[in-house]
């Protein structure tokens, strides 16, 4: 158990965080290379596979017919030991057999700690959802022992039909267990805000846990430039 001094120090050093994702922007899986050579390419072929070509591992192919969910795909890549992965703006249980990942070659970028990463993104019009995760670990090499608190969600999503329980909040713990803690009627297109106790309340993740927010639809979700989901909270 953490000492009182440790708890008070984390509270004193807590910082606000705001994250937002639009159409085709949620990062389902973030990868970083941990091999000894170089990366030639990381490519998603919709409804087929993810292929990583490196100088040390050759060609590594992960078929979606075998690795049928985001979690199974991330675990399979981790197991090979050439890339390290983390699931971010998606549930581990999200199906990827139905072309839910954005098609094409992935251009490398850097996370907030300057680590070179390859972001496998959701194709939001095919996954039929748009989500964002509030996490202590969006960046690689982040220290453990922290948690997040969600205070506000703002979204505007051009969906097919607003429906009960289509605006959802999940908690994911450090063992990757995912539990829905909030469900509400979604609102089509109109900017909608959820303030938890006027911004003074919060949904808290466990230590080293995450809070995932998503807006989904059963049939259609347009690739509108005005689509977004924004989360506001605290990293402690």
Structural domains of the chain in order of their starting residue, each with its CATH number: 1-24+127-236 (2.60.120), 27-121 (no CATH)
Cα separations (Å) of 109 from 27, 116, 122, 172? 12, 6, 17, 25
3-state secondary structure of 54: strand
**pLDDT for 62:** 97
67-97 residues labelled b (16+ CB within 10 A) or e (exposed): bbbbbbbbebbeeeebbbbbbbbbbbebebe
**pLDDT for 13:** 56
**pLDDT for 199:** 67
The token pair that represents 12 in the structure block? 């004193």
Sign of CA dihedral 98, 104, 105, 110: negative
**pLDDT for 12:** 47
Question: Quick one: which of 138, 154, 166 has its CA closest to 226?
Answer: 154
pLDDT per residue of the chain (236 residues) written in tens, 0 to 9: 556 555 545 554 568 999 999 999 999 999 999 999 999 999 999 899 999 999 988 999 999 999 999 999 999 999 999 999 999 999 999 999 778 999 999 999 999 999 999 999 999 999 999 999 999 999 999 999 999 999 999 999 999 999 999 999 999 999 999 999 999 999 999 999 999 977 678 999 999 999 999 999 999 999 999 999 999 999 99
């Amino acid at each position: 158990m953490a000492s009182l001094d440790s708890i008070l120090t984390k509270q004193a050093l807590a910082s606000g965080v705001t994250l937002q994702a639009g159409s085709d922007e949620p990062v389902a899986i973030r990868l970083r290379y941990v091999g000894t050579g170089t990366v030639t390419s990381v490519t998603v072929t919709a409804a087929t596979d993810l292929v990583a070509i490196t100088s040390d591992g050759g060609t590594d192919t992960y078929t979606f017919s075998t690795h049928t969910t985001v979690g199974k795909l991330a675990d399979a890549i981790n197991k090979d030991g050439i890339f390290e992965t983390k699931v971010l703006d998606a549930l581990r249980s999200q199906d990827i057999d139905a072309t839910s990942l954005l098609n094409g070659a992935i251009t490398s970028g850097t996370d907030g700690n300057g680590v070179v990463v390859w972001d496998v993104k959701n194709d939001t019009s095919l996954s039929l959802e748009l989500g964002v995760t509030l996490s202590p670990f969006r960046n690689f090499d982040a220290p453990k022992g922290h948690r997040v608190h969600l205070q506000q969600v703002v979204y505007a999503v051009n969906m097919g039909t607003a429906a009960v329980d289509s605006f959802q909040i999940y908690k994911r713990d450090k063992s990757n267990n995912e539990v829905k803690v909030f469900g509400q009627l979604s609102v089509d297109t109109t900017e909608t805000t959820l303030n938890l106790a006027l911004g003074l309340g919060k949904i808290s993740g466990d230590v080293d846990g995450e809070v995932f927010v998503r807006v989904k639809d059963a049939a259609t979700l347009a690739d509108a430039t005005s689509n977004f989901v924004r989360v506001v909270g605290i990293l402690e």
